[in-house]
Amino acid sequence: MGEATGVLVIGGGPAGLAAALAARKKGFDVTVADGAKPPIDKACGEGLMPGTVTALRELGVAIGPGDGQAFRGIRFLDAGTSAEASFSGVSGVGVRRTVLHQKMVERAEGCGITLLWNTPVAGLCGDGAILGGTVVKSRWIIGADGIHSRVRRWMGLDGNVRQEMRFAQRRHYGVKAWTDCMEIHWGQKAQAYVTPLSNEETCVALISRDPRMRLEDAWREFPKLAGRLCHAEPHSAERGAVTVTRRLGQVYRGNIALTGDASGSVDAITGEGLCLSFRQAMALADALGNGELESYQRAHRRLARRPHTTGRLLLLLDRYPPLRKRALRGLAEDPELFARLLAAHLGEASPRFLAATSLRLGWQFLTARIERVKDECVSKPPGSGLLFPGSGARDAVGAERSASACCAATTGR
Ligand SMILES: Cc1cc2nc3c(=O)[nH]c(=O)nc-3n(C[C@H](O)[C@H](O)[C@H](O)COP(=O)(O)OP(=O)(O)OC[C@H]3O[C@@H](n4cnc5c(N)ncnc54)[C@H](O)[C@@H]3O)c2cc1C
């Protein structure tokens, strides 16, 4: 039998380290065990939204000018359309994943957190967990072991959960970023995210529903981007990952709580995964301080609502290209609307605005499809088809349903 600890965190990625830092701040003895050793890399868009930088600061991790490259907002590009919005307050920052991890590790060391690297956790047992053949007892256990969480499975919280998975590839290029925004290039089958990291480096992450898609294949979809990057020297190998939209009914059982991607996740397109993990860490530490986990469950549900709404909205645009083209044209013509949407997404404006916009988009799409179907019916000889033939009506109804669901999720109805 090993030593006892107050809080044992399984997984020392950003979510685990954030949970450890927040719990330490509440005065707990904290041990973190991770199967890898720092700095731990992972395929990521590497964009820290303004709220993420603020949350890091609250955890005592300061991101300085030398750590990455500031960006002032978000730009969407699709064929000939470009729409952009600036953040209303502080900038976002593009930071290499390994730099972020190293900074969080240093902070954890400085706070007196026990860090056990190269230490995979093999199972849970009674009041503790099994680390390298030893049982470590703990008052509280936090599962922060990522998207494929084994802790979640050991707790029996994996079953019956709806999820949507997409596939990602990330690579760094030795080229000065041409953009002062984080760019999302929309293609037919994928999006490419461009994040400026420094004067010498740019991060590109490709995300698609097709597991076989690689960056090489994507250049056909993004000729402008290909033109900028085809002669740039790659600074890293292509690294794959999955991004999952998943909401768990329950995020704790007994004295064990899940956090970060282990506790459910939003699609990477939201750019909010890290911020969500850091906010969860603070809510979890509050609950531990009160000696109960039910308040964490409630806070977790509340924190997830907004990013999940935007995620669904953006995935709707991914799934229905005609809707996307209309929506992006609308945003390009009305930058103020885009700025308000961005502010709502980042929690700086009312979520009801996001819901109303979701419905508006759904309605626009529905009316556009109905007009098109009507035109098709008029141009066809009588009796040659149904009133709403083919996929048109189905797409329209699907889009409207998804938009209504977004609205219900946001307003809680
Ligand atoms: C392509 C892509 C792009 C993204 N872009 C962004 C972005 O731009 N901005 C943003 O905010 N978010 C982004 N995200 C989301 C973000 O990367 C995740 O939300 C974040 O990594 C979650 O951190 P985590 O600590 O929960 O999981 P992870 O980073 O996966 O860490 C889990 C840790 O647990 C350890 N572990 C696993 N099993 C065990 C075990 N049995 N014992 C011990 N240790 C274990 C692993 O070694 C790992 O270190 C992106 C995600 C993807 C896939």
Asked if residue 136 belongs to a domain, the reply is yes
Q: With a 6 A CB cut-off, is 92 part of the ligand 1 pocket?
A: no
Q: With a 6 A CB cut-off, is 11 part of the ligand 1 pocket?
A: yes
Whether 300 and 358 share a structural domain? no
pLDDT band of residue 396 (cuts 50, 70, 90) is: very low
Whether 132 and 18 share a structural domain? yes
In sequence order, what are the residues at sequence separation of 6 or more whose Cβ sits closer than 8 angstroms to the Cβ of residue 324?
78, 186, 317, 318
Whether 26 and 120 share a structural domain? yes
Asked if residue 10 belongs to a domain, the reply is yes
How far apart are the C-alpha atoms of 411 and 413, rounded to whole Å?
Answer: 5
Whether 117 and 149 share a structural domain? yes
Q: With a 6 A CB cut-off, is 205 part of the ligand 1 pocket?
A: yes
Phi–psi pair at 42, nearest 5 degrees: -160, 145
Q: With a 6 A CB cut-off, is 146 part of the ligand 1 pocket?
A: yes
- pLDDT computed for residue 159 by the predictor: 79
Asked if residue 107 belongs to a domain, the reply is yes
CATH of the domain at 155: 3.50.50.60
Number of domains in the chain: 2
CA of 330 to the centre of ligand 1 (A): 34
CA of 241 to the centre of ligand 1 (A): 9
Q: Which residue's C-alpha comes closest to atom 44 of ligand 1?
A: 34
Write the CA distances from 398 to 56, 69, 392, integer angstroms.
38, 40, 10
- pLDDT computed for residue 46 by the predictor: 98
pLDDT at residue 407 is higher than 80: no
Ligand 1 atom, smallest distance to 119 CA = 43
Whether 287 and 327 share a structural domain? no
Asked if residue 173 belongs to a domain, the reply is no
CA of 147 to the centre of ligand 1 (A): 7
Q: Which residue's C-alpha comes closest to atom 37 of ligand 1?
A: 145
CA of 97 to the centre of ligand 1 (A): 10
Q: With a 6 A CB cut-off, is 268 part of the ligand 1 pocket?
A: yes
Query: Do 279 and 347 meet the contact criterion of CB atoms below 8 Å apart?
Result: no
Whether 144 and 258 share a structural domain? yes
Asked if residue 227 belongs to a domain, the reply is no
Q: With a 6 A CB cut-off, is 318 part of the ligand 1 pocket?
A: no
Whether 150 and 273 share a structural domain? yes
Asked if residue 139 belongs to a domain, the reply is yes
Q: Which residue's C-alpha comes closest to atom 3 of ligand 1?
A: 44
Q: With a 6 A CB cut-off, is 171 part of the ligand 1 pocket?
A: no
CA of 22 to the centre of ligand 1 (A): 18
Whether 285 and 325 share a structural domain? no
Q: Which residue's C-alpha comes closest to atom 48 of ligand 1?
A: 13
For residue 73, the cross-strand partners are 86, 181
Whether 323 and 292 share a structural domain? no
CA of 209 to the centre of ligand 1 (A): 19
Ligand 1 atom, smallest distance to 169 CA = 1
Q: Summarize pLDDT for 256-282 with one digit per residue, the tens.
A: 999 999 999 999 999 999 999 999 999
Asked if residue 116 belongs to a domain, the reply is yes
Q: With a 6 A CB cut-off, is 241 part of the ligand 1 pocket?
A: yes
- pLDDT computed for residue 206 by the predictor: 96
Query: Do 199 and 219 meet the contact criterion of CB atoms below 8 Å apart?
Result: no
Domain end point (choices 261, 282, 305): 305
How far apart are the C-alpha atoms of 262 and 145, rounded to whole Å?
Answer: 6
Q: Summarize pLDDT for 96-128 with one digit per residue, the tens.
A: 999 999 999 999 999 999 999 999 999 999 889
Domain end point (choices 305, 332, 351): 305
Whether 155 and 283 share a structural domain? yes
Asked if residue 364 belongs to a domain, the reply is yes
Answer whether 0.95 is exceeded by the pTM.
Answer: no
Supply the range of the domain harboring residue 355.
313-411
- pLDDT computed for residue 1 by the predictor: 47
- pLDDT computed for residue 362 by the predictor: 64
Q: Which residue's C-alpha comes closest to atom 38 of ligand 1?
A: 145
Which of 38-47, 129-138, 364-373 is the most confident on average? 38-47
Q: With a 6 A CB cut-off, is 209 part of the ligand 1 pocket?
A: no
Whether 284 and 320 share a structural domain? no
Query: Do 74 and 86 meet the contact criterion of CB atoms below 8 Å apart?
Result: no
Query: Do 396 and 370 meet the contact criterion of CB atoms below 8 Å apart?
Result: yes
Whether 141 and 29 share a structural domain? yes
- Listed range (211-215, 216-220, 221-225, 401-405) with the worst mean pLDDT: 401-405
Domain end point (choices 305, 326, 356): 305
